[in-house]
Each structure stands twice: as structure tokens, then as C-alpha cells.
Amino acid sequence: MVSRAESAAATRRAVLDAAAELLDEGGPDAVTLRDVSARAGVSRGAPYGHFADKDSLLAAVATEDWERFSDEIATLRGTPAAKLRGALTALVSIGRHHPHRYRQMLGPPAGEDPAQMVAASCRAQEEFLALVSQVVDKQDVHRYGGLLFTGVSGIINAELSGHFTTGKWRTSADELVDTLVTLIAHVQPSDHMAGGSSPAR
């Protein structure tokens, strides 16, 4: 026998999974609440018992993806440098295997309660910065950590948009990521330029 709460949780899970699947298959426009419901085996109105609207459902998918990513990079083992590269590889991997969910993760927090998605991405940032702090000098952690993460995300985005196959960059995402990591790993705090104004908040 299934309790009512259990069945409700199962429905929520099924809806979430169906949405993630459809998002993977055809992007946000292919995520139709009607199709989601059908694939989850529930009625059209059922998702509204768990998510305020379509945007909130998509945000919930992204939130789970952020949490999965956080767990993944938090359990990396090896040398600090290897862990850092592992984290970046994990990010690249998400972008390549789940382009649309990747874009959803990196887009602006949406839905009825954006704070939830913000919190999830915040934790990922913390985990990532923890790895960075083992590789670069303490005072450069945020600057280099932020640059690594946002830079790599931009590289991935360019690859997903086909800019390396159809554009003029005669290079690849892998090479760029490697270049960026090498640049940051090589430049040690010795030459910290005076540019660093007061950090934002």
C-alpha cells in the first residue's frame, strides 16, 4: 500500500523526470506541460499541485542539476590540480550531454521561487571555490575562481552554439579550457596587478 504522501512524492518525481527528458530531447519549447504530464502518466493539471507554473518546473529541473553537479565535484578525489580539472571536465560534460539543461542551469533563475535555484548554484560555486583555493593563492581565489568558472561556461556555450565548427575560431573548446587553466595555474600571485578594486559585496 502506498500512503498518500508517498504517491504525491512519486508524482512529483515523475513530473520532474519527464520534464528533464523532454528538455533534453527538444529544448524548453518542447517541454509542454501536456507532454510532461502524459509522459509522467498523470493528468494535465497534476503538475500544478507541485509546481506553480511551467517556469517553476523548469527551474526545479535546473536546481536538481546544480545539486547533482555540486555533489559530483564535492566527491572528487586526487591532487588539487586534478580535482580542479575534474570539476571543469564535469561542467563541460554536462554541457555536451545535456545542452538544454546546461543552458537552463546557466540562465537567470526563474520561476515562482528563484531563491531555490540561486541557493543550488551558490552551493556549486562554494564547492568549486573550495577546489580553486587549493590551487591558487588565497587572495586570488575569487578572482581566478570566478574567471575559471564563467570563462569555461562561456567556452561551452560557444561550442553548443556551433561557433567552433561554423565560426572563425580555429580552435576547440578543449583547447581553450586547457589554455585558460594553464594561464591561471601559471600566473602566480607574484605579479598581482593593482587593478583589484573592492570586491562586490
Partner DNA sequence: CCCACTCGGATGACGTCGTCATCTGTATGA
Partner DNA sequence: TCATACAGATGACGACGTCATCCGAGTGGG
Nearest to 35 by CA among 51, 49, 50, 17: 17
CB atoms under 10 Å from CB of 201, counted, come to: 3
Q: Give yes or no for residue 44 binding DNA (CB under 7 A).
A: yes
| SS3 state of residue 107 | coil
Give dist(CA 131, CA 119) in Å, integer.
19
Q: What minimum distance in Å lies between the beta carbon of 14 and DNA?
A: 8
Which of residues 17, 24, 27, 50 is near DNA by CB under 7 A?
50
DSSP letter at 190? G
Residues in 77-106 at the binding interface with a second copy, rule: CB under 8 A = 103, 106
Which of residues 1, 2, 45, 108 is near a second copy by CB under 8 A?
108
Give dist(CA 152, CA 73) in Å, integer.
15
Q: And the C-alpha cell for 91? A: 561542467
Nearest to 180 by CA among 154, 201, 162: 154
By CB under 8 A, which span of 2-10, 63-71, 76-84, 174-182 interacts with a second copy?
174-182
In this structure, which amino acid lies at residue 48?
Y
Considering CB distances under 5 to 8 angstroms, the limit depending on partner class, which of DNA, a second copy, none binds residue 107?
a second copy
Q: What minimum distance in Å lies between the beta carbon of 110 and DNA?
A: 11
Q: And the C-alpha cell for 90? A: 564535469
Considering CB distances under 5 to 8 angstroms, the limit depending on partner class, which of a second copy, DNA, none binds residue 45?
DNA
In this structure, which amino acid lies at residue 74?
A
Nearest to 91 by CA among 154, 29, 22, 21: 154
Kindly write out the interface string for residues 118-157 of this chain, putting x where it contacts a second copy by CB under 8 A and - elsewhere: x--xx--xx--x------------xxxxxx-xxxxxxx-x
Q: What minimum distance in Å lies between the beta carbon of 28 and DNA?
A: 9
Residues near a second copy (CB under 8 A) are: 103, 106-109, 118, 121-122, 125-126, 129, 142-147, 149-155, 157-158, 160-172, 175-176, 178-180, 182-184, 187-189, 193, 195-197, 199-201
